[in-house]
A and B are shown apart, each in its own frame.
Chain A
C-alpha cells in the first residue's frame, strides 16, 4: 500500500461527495424526487434523523467527503505530510463510519426503511476507513523512507538531474 491507497481514498471520497451532494440537493428542495429503486429513500431523508445540529446529515457528509478528498490529494503530492494526513484521514473516516453505523441502525430499527444512497455512502466511508487504516499502518512503520515511490536518495536523484539536463 503506497500512493495508490491515497489515490483510491481520493477517488472514493469524490464518489462519496457526489452521492452526498445528490442527497443534499434533495434535502434543500433543488431535486424534488430521488431515484430510489431499492428501499425508501424519501422516508429516510425526511425523517428527524436526516438532520444533525440544524443541518442536513447529507450536507455534513458532503463537507466530510470534501475534506477527505483534499487531504488525500495533498498526501498524493506531499510525502512529507504523510504521517499527519494519515492520522487525520484515519480519525475522520473512523468517526464517520461510526456515525454512518448509527444512522443505518436508525434506518433498520426505528424508521424501518432503507435508503440505498445512504447505504452506498456508508459503504464508501467504510472502504475509505480501511484504506486509511492501512495507510496509517504503513506511515507508522516508516515504510515511506524505503518506498520506491518516495523521494529518491540524493545520489540517484543527482543522476536523474544530469539525465534530464542532457535531454
Chain B
C-alpha cells in the first residue's frame, strides 16, 4: 500500500469515526428542530382557530354611531372595526382605503362607518381614538383618521402621544383650544366604548374587521375582494327590496 493511499484511508477512517461519534449530537439537533417546528405549527393552528372566519350577519340596520362617510342611505352599508395603532389597519387605511373611498363611497355605492375597536395591547389606541373624535367635533374626523394611520410609526411607541396628535390637529387647522380641551376632558370616551361594545356584540376578535352587507370579514382585504363583497351585498339588497315590494303588489291585486 503506498503512503498516499494509506494517508487517504486513514483520513477516511478518522472521518467515519468522527461521524459515528457525532451521531447522537445530530439526532439531538433533529429532535430539537422537530419539537420546535411542532410547537410553532401548533401555535399557528391555534391562532387560525381563534381567528374569526367570514360569518353571516343579520341585515339589521346599524344605529347611527361610529363615524360616517358617504351617503347614509346608500344601498350597502360598510362597517369597519379598527384600531388606530394596529399595523394591519394602517396598511388597509393607507393602501386600500383611498380606492374604496373614491370608487365605492364617492360613487354612492355604499356608506362607510368607522368604529373604534381599541385592542388592549396597544397602549396609544384609545388616545388616538380620542384625538380623532375631538377632530370630529370640528368636522375633521376623517382627516385626522388619515393623519393617524399615515403617521402611525411616529406616535405608536411614544410614552405620551399627545404632542404628535397636537401637531396633526394644528396641520389640519383645528381650533387648538377647543381640540385641546376636548382631548383632555376625554368627553368622547363613552362613544369610543360604545363603538367597541358594538364590535364585541358582533364577535369582532381582530382588526380590521369589516361588515359588508351580510358578511363579516376579518383582515385587511385587498380592493378587488372588497369590491366583490360590495357587489354581492348590493345584489342581496336589491333582492330584499324586490321581495319587500312583491307581496305588496300581490296584496293589492287581491280583491
Contact = CB atoms under 8 A, between A and B. Distances in A.
B157 A111 contact: yes
Contact of B29 (A11, A40, A111): A11
Contacts of A112: 123, 157, 159
Contact of B43 (A10, A22, A77, A161): A22
A61 B36 CA distance: 16
Interface string B1-22: 0000011011101100011001
Interface string B42-81: 0110011011000000000000000000000000000000
Interface in A1-59: 7, 10-11, 14-15, 18, 21-22, 25, 29-33, 35, 40, 42-43, 46-49
Contact of A157 (B14, B153, B157): B14
A158 interface: yes
Contacts of B7: 154
B36 A35 contact: no
A18 B159 contact: no
A76 B26 CA distance: 11
The prevalent SS among residues of B at the interface is helix
B254 interface: no
A121 to B, nearest CB: 13
Most buried by A among B10, B50, B88, B153: B10
Contacts of B51: 32
B33 interface: yes
A160 interface: yes
Contacts of A98: none
Contacts of A14: 29, 32-33, 36
Given A30-B44, A77-B18, A158 B6 contact: yes
A21 B18 contact: no
A63 interface: no
Contacts of A46: 85-87, 122, 156
Nearest to B17: A160
Contacts of A18: 32-33, 36-37, 40
16 contacts: A11-B32, A14-B29, A15-B32, A15-B36, A18-B32, A22-B43, A32-B47, A33-B47, A42-B121, A46-B156, A47-B153, A47-B156, A151-B14, A157-B10, A157-B14, A160-B13
Given A15-B32, A31-B44, A46-B122, 20 more contacts: A10-B29, A11-B29, A18-B36, A22-B43, A29-B88, A30-B44, A32-B48, A32-B50, A32-B51, A33-B50, A47-B156, A48-B156, A48-B157, A77-B18, A77-B19, A110-B157, A112-B123, A154-B7, A157-B10, A160-B13
